[in-house]
């Protein structure tokens, strides 16, 4: 039995039309204890359209209404996935501070205002160059930002650019990745394990097993598991693989969050 799904998108996200109530009913049918709705909060990305502007006031109001409605049946966490860039820290942290979030995922979706999915960043860079730039940006982000709970899909850069960009160059980026992990741990921040890599035909979760093992070697403890679902059918997809992996390396707990504080829950 799975405990929770901590990365779920609804109709408030620019990339989802999924009705929120259907998410909660699906979660109950899966016997989940809790879920975190984590719709996208993006800012200052070249070509970003109006549909990507999250109306935080309406979003928060709706999630809190459902939280009350489902009390006793499902623990609903008010979350958000913030697409962070080094230069947007002040604006985004001010926005997050206005609302009573339980949980914030920090993710690098864009670099220098260009979305990773659009191909602009790949034009003049090979795989090695792109991954180096990406991890340099992630490191800059984790050093600057404080108002987040976990870093989302930390090595998902391999998802974009086509076949020639697939495959993580872990050893070539070892020093950068190590500094990222050490910074997260020193700030009391965690890592998200994101299972969407299987749906994107990468045959893995994010981050890769090498990064997760290293995180634990360095003393990291805070972990959440998320499906990154945009339709209710993807809730908890491939979670069995993550649970089996964590147990195989001796991990006994994952985290829930309440008012931005981690709560450790024993794996079942």
pLDDT digits (tens, 9 = 90+) for 141-163: 999 999 999 999 999 999 999 99
> With bands split at pLDDT 50, 70 and 90, how would you rate the model's confidence at 268?
confident
User: Which residues contact residue 179 at a Cβ distance below 8 angstroms, ignoring those fewer than 6 apart?
Assistant: 139
Q: What is the pLDDT of residue 5?
A: 98
Would you state the pLDDT for residue 207? 98
Q: What percent of the chain shows pLDDT beyond 90?
A: 99
Phi-psi region of 260 (alpha: psi -120 to 50; beta: other; left: phi over 0): left
Q: pLDDT for 201-251, tens place per residue?
A: 999 999 999 999 999 999 999 999 999 999 999 999 999 999 999 999 999
CA distances from 220 to 152, 180, 186, 190, 191 (A): 15, 12, 9, 7, 9
DSSP secondary structure letters along 31-87: T-SEEEE--EE--S-TT--GGG---HHHHHHHHHHHHHHTTTT-EEEEEEEEE--GG
Q: Does the pLDDT of residue 21 top 90, yes or no?
A: yes
Average pLDDT over all residues of the chain: 97
Q: Under 8 Å CB-to-CB from 133, ≥6 apart: which residues?
A: 111, 121, 125
* Whole-number pLDDT of residue 109: 98
> So what's the pLDDT on residue 1?
85
Give the count of beta carbons closer than 10 Å to the beta carbon of residue 167: 13
Q: What is the pLDDT of residues 61-79, one digit of tens each?
A: 999 999 999 999 999 999 9
> Which of 184, 29, 47 has its CA nearest to residue 114?
47
Which pLDDT belongs to residue 177?
98
Tell me the C-alpha distance between 148 and 142, whole Å: 9
Give the residue extent of every domain in the chain: 4-266
What was the pLDDT predicted at 185?
Answer: 98
Q: Could you tell me the pLDDT band of residue 29, with boundaries at 50, 70 and 90? A: very high
Please give the Cα distance from 154 to 107 (Å, whole number).
Answer: 7
User: Of the given ranges (23-27, 48-52, 128-132, 137-141), which has the lowest mean pLDDT?
Assistant: 48-52
At 78-111, the pLDDT tens digits run 999 999 999 999 999 999 999 999 999 999 999 9
Q: What is the pLDDT of residue 10?
A: 98
Q: Which of 189, 157, 193 is nearest to 173 (CA)?
A: 157
pLDDT above 70 covers what percent of the chain? 100
Architecture of domain 4-266: Alpha-Beta Barrel (3.20)
């Amino acid at each position: 039995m799975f405990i929770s799904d901590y990365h779920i998108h609804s109709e408030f996200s620019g990339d989802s039309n999924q009705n929120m109530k259907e998410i909660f009913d699906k979660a109950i049918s899966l016997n989940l204890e809790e879920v975190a709705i984590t719709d996208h909060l993006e800012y200052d990305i070249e070509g970003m359209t109006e549909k990507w502007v999250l109306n935080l006031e309406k979003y928060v109001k709706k999630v809190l209404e459902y939280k009350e409605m489902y009390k006793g049946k499902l623990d609903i966490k008010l979350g958000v996935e913030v697409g962070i860039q080094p230069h947007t820290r002040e604006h985004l942290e001010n926005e997050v501070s206005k609302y009573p979030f339980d949980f914030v995922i920090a993710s690098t979706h864009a670099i220098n205002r260009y979305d990773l999915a659009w191909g602009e960043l790949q034009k003049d860079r090979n795989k090695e160059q792109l991954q180096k730039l990406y991890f340099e940006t992630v490191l800059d982000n984790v050093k600057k930002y404080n108002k987040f709970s976990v870093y989302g899909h930390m090595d998902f850069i391999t998802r974009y650019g086509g076949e020639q960009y697939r495959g993580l160059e872990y050893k070539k980026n070892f020093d950068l990745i190590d500094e990222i992990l050490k910074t997260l741990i020193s700030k009391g921040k965690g890592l998200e394990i994101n299972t969407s890599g299987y749906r994107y035909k990468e045959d893995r979760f994010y981050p890769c097993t090498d990064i997760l093992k290293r995180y634990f070697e360095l003393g990291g403890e805070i972990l959440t598991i998320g499906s990154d679902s945009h339709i209710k059918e993807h809730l908890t997809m491939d979670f069995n693989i993550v649970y089996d992996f964590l147990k195989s390396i001796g991990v006994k707990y994952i985290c829930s969050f309440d008012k931005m504080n981690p709560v450790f829950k024993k794996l079942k």
